[in-house]
Amino acid sequence: MSEADFRIGLLGHGTVGRAFEALLAQRSDEIAAVTGLRPRITGVLTRSRGDFARVLEEAELVVEVMGGLDPAREHVLAAMAAGRHVVTANKQLLSRHGEELWGLAREHGVQLRFEAAVAGVVPVIRVLQESLAAAHVERLHGIVNGTTNYILSEMARTGADYENALADAQRLGYAEADPTEDVSGEDAAAKMAILARLAFGTPVDLDQVRFEGIEHITAYDLEYARELGLGLKLIGTAERVDGGALNVRVHPAFLYPGHPLASVNGPYNAVTVESADITEITMSGPGAGGPQTASAVLGDVISAMIPPASTPEATSSLEVVQDVESAFYLHLEVADRPGVLAQVAQLLGLQGASIKSVVQRGLGEHARLVMVVHPMLESRFFAALELISRLDFVRARPRAIRVIEEEFT
């Protein structure tokens, strides 16, 4: 007997809608294993195609990724009124009509999930709503607009001025032809209104969020930042002030290097939540992109499909292996005599090692030989190391430390 179906209506079929459809098909088996239900898209509505009433009729849950206020608001309200769960990625809708939508979800006992509306796949909505449900949050700082973070990162990295960095971002697809909503801080303000509502349990109207953009930032400002080791970011802040009040704002700000958001570069998003109980936690990741947004939507869909699960049964039985490939830093204390490097290199070479860099320093009669080798099977590296340690010119136990070579930004 096959699993029961779980019927999903899809509103919107642009980049995110299509990415969601593809991801859902690709993950169908895993989802069935986790939830006991097989998800199926039973209807699609676009601006030019499909009938909303019919999509709704056939669905248990509606995914809204059309964006904009109309007709998204109307459709989401109708779906919840008809008892359907809703997953949406629509930040405009939530920042302008959140109380109405959340109120209706409560009234009809349905779930309204919206992880993808803020910071894409960075799970800040879930963490605020669940992990920190009763925490007394003091402050929340966020880099919640990837376009502006990319532009500021490029200005910092290359010394470019704002106009050139913006043009680059447009060329690479990180900024739109009309970048106003991003660079003015308005997009970030909408996201901060949503985060503030969740973190502080207080309704926040978008009009109550002050915002300032990055259009006036100059190459000199970033030169100053570099000289002092500071980061310059477009920062959204929501914080308690004067005991009983709340302030929500977006503006460029310098950050000291110890701040968790200072090292967030490129088109990334990140949010730091501060509270006396937790000190602070930071979450970061790519802010947008079709597959990332689709992945956030899918996480919400799966959560809506199941009660808060006990740990699912083991869904795979991968073989657990011990030997893997690693790059290595190798540190040797050797006698300072000719041929030392050649013999070490030969032993490494016999095991297939490729040397990336070598530094040799004389220390009187001894020398210190430090090298980095490219990734190789660890068992083979250690076989070479064992032989190297027995060479008569090696004066101390060789030291090896792995090197993780990935850079993300």
Write the DSSP string, 31-92: HHHHHSEEEEEEEEE-SSS--HHHHHHH-SEEEE---SSTTHHHHHHHHHHTT-EEEE--HH
**Identified catalytic residue from 91, 191, 233, 356:** 191
Distance CA 261, CA 321 (A): 36
* Stretch in the footprint of a copy of itself (CB under 8 A) among 51-59, 150-158, 248-256, 335-343: 248-256
What's the min distance (Å) between Cβ of 260 and a copy of itself?
6
CA end-to-end span of the chain: 47
Tokens representing 381 are 């590296």
Instruction: Using the minimum distance from each CB to a copy of itself, give the nearer residue, 45 or 190.
Output: 190
Among 18, 251, 366, 374, binds a copy of itself (CB under 8 A): 251
Q: Residue 248 pairs with which residues in a beta bridge?
A: 238
Of 90, 45, 121, the closest CA to residue 294 belongs to 121
Q: Interface with a copy of itself includes 280 (CB under 8 A)?
A: yes
Among 68, 83, 229, 257, binds a copy of itself (CB under 8 A): 257
* Stretch in the footprint of a copy of itself (CB under 8 A) among 3-11, 61-69, 128-136, 379-387: 128-136
- Tell me, what amino acid is at 38? R
Among 298, 353, 376, 394, binds a copy of itself (CB under 8 A): 298
Taking CB under 8 A as the criterion, which residues in 58-97 touch a copy of itself? Answer: none
Q: Interface with a copy of itself includes 149 (CB under 8 A)?
A: no
The packing angle between helices 162-171 and 146-158, to 10°, is 120
Active site residue 233: no
Instruction: Using the minimum distance from each CB to a copy of itself, give the nearer residue, 335 or 401.
Output: 401
Among 56, 294, 340, 384, binds a copy of itself (CB under 8 A): 294
Distance CA 3, CA 306 (A): 14
Distance CA 355, CA 349 (A): 8
Distance CA 12, CA 297 (A): 13
Q: Interface with a copy of itself includes 320 (CB under 8 A)?
A: yes
How many residues are recorded in the chain?
409
Among 164, 170, 254, 374, binds a copy of itself (CB under 8 A): 254
Q: Interface with a copy of itself includes 313 (CB under 8 A)?
A: yes
Instruction: Using the minimum distance from each CB to a copy of itself, give the nearer residue, 175 or 301.
Output: 301
Q: Interface with a copy of itself includes 226 (CB under 8 A)?
A: no
Taking CB under 8 A as the criterion, which residues in 354-373 touch a copy of itself? Answer: 368, 370
